[in-house]
Every structure is written in structure tokens, then in C-alpha cells.
Amino acid sequence: MFAANRPAVLSAMMDAPLPVPYRLIGASRPTVPVVITVPHAGRHYPPELDRLARVPRSVLERLEDRYADALASLVADQGFSVLVATIARAFIDLNRSEDEWDSLLIGDDRPRIPPAHRVRAGLGLVPRRLMPEGELWQRPLRRFELERRLDTVHRPWHGEIERLLGLASAAGGGRAVLIDLHSMPTQPDSVPHFVVGDRHGLTASSELVDRLLAEGEGAGLTVARNAPYAGAYTIQRHGRRRAGVEAVQIEFDRALYLDSAGELDAAAVARMGDLVARLAHAAADHVAGCSRWPLAAE
């Protein structure tokens, strides 16, 4: 799709194969009704990004949920399926819809929908700017370049989530939970440490969210629901409450598991990894408790 009519000068830049856009750790066929995804921990930067960037790699790395995948290793060892992105968020943001792209960045087309606030802020499907550095790229992208990123990274990622959730739902008697795992910069006044987003009740029940928040509080964290992060495209797309699939976006303060240099603190990772495991088990218990209730027809 994306190869048609592309200028020859860009062909060599784009023809290098990309790695598989995700790695699946833990169960490849879920036997428990919970799937964990980590969309912003990818650390592979395709060569074309370095050629296009007008800022150092260190600036692009600020877009990452740095080492958030480390928090999921323990839960993968306990039989849960964990899907981890491998491609850097600077290449394409897996937590944005295909329509959330910036007309200031894609120079030869216009999106079908008005830009959301995060797109206007420069954090759309392909991030455009970061403060205080400003613009990230030397030139606009062409629409076929965006289509290549969608075809090779974004669509396979969400297709794999759908596959895993289908199997998890079968394991849960028609019910399942998706936990979309993120990390966030330390917030003003250092709170909250832990946020559960359900798009203000659209993607998960209050019973599930309350249970997850209680796990965070039990770990001694200051918790919040939907503030400052209510959840974005992943849980909007894959959460289908009436069909029995609940979805939440969970954010951890990076200071909970990284040291002052931004590197992993082994003891802190173990503590937070244990909390992620408790969250996954709590979600599985929630599904088991709901199994006696009939599902609504969509």
C-alpha cells in the first residue's frame, strides 16, 4: 500500500526491514482472562528517525515510558500474557488512533477528524514537538510514510491485542480485562504516584477500578482515578464493557522504579513488579466474580 508513488529519493531510506513491532512474553495463548500491554517502552529507533530528526536521540527518548516493560516481567512469569512494543514511540504512537495525526507534520494530506488536544500539543500519532526543544523533525512526512508506519507497526500491534483478548475472553467465560501499562513523569507536588484511567467509566466498571486503586493504596502509593490520565486510544478501542471486555490504562510514577539517573533500581523494580502482579491477579479475580452475571447484548 505504502510503496505506491513514493519518491525514489526516499526508497532507500524506507526499504530497510523493521523488526517485529512487539514481543510477547509469558503465555502466547492466554489461559487467564487478563492481558497486559506496554505500548511506550519500545527502544528500537529505525535509522530513518536519526536521519529525519533535528534533535538529539536523547530528546526522542523522552517520549518513552522508560523501562516500563521491566515492571511486567514478574507477572509474565506467573502465566499472564504481556505484549511489549519494540519500536520507539517517536516512530509511531501505538496509543493513538489512525486519525490522530497532525496536519502540520503530514504535509500532503489532511486528517478526517478535527485534531484532539494532544495532537495540537504535538503528541499525535507521530509526535511532532516536545518542549522546550520544539519541532522534532527536519521536514514534514508524506502520507505514504505514515501508511508504512501504520502497516508495519500500528496495525499488527492492535491486531495482536485483539487476538490475545479473544483467547483471554474464552478463558474467562466471555469476560476479560486489558491492562495498558504506562509510566509518567513525577507530577507536581509528587502526587499522585499511581493512576487508573477508565475514560471516566466508559471502559471499565467502578468495581474493577476500585479494586485496582485499593491495591495501589495497599502498596503505600497515593492514587488517582482518571487524573491526570484518563486513558487514550488503546482502552477506547479494545474496551467493550457491555461485551465483557474491560480495559484500564495504568500509570506509575517513574521515580517509583528508576534512580536519579533514569536507570533501573533493582529493588524498586521488584517492589513495583510485585504490585503489577497483584493488579493482574486482582483483575483475574474480578472476572471470576463477575462470571455469574449475564453479559448484555451489544
Q: Structurally, what CATH architecture does the domain formed by 8-53+64-98+142-290 represent?
A: 3-Layer(aba) Sandwich (3.40)
Q: How far apart are CA 126 and CA 121, in angstroms?
A: 12
**Domain spans of the chain, in order of start:** 8-53+64-98+142-290
What per-residue confidence (pLDDT) applies to 294?
57
- pLDDT, tens only, 134-178: 999 999 999 999 999 999 999 999 999 999 999 999 999 999 999
- pLDDT, tens only, 194-213: 999 999 999 999 999 999 99
Q: How confident is the model at residue 110 (pLDDT cuts 50, 70, 90)?
A: confident
Q: What is the mean pLDDT of residues 14-21?
A: 73
- pLDDT, tens only, 241-283: 999 999 999 999 999 999 999 999 999 999 999 999 999 999 9
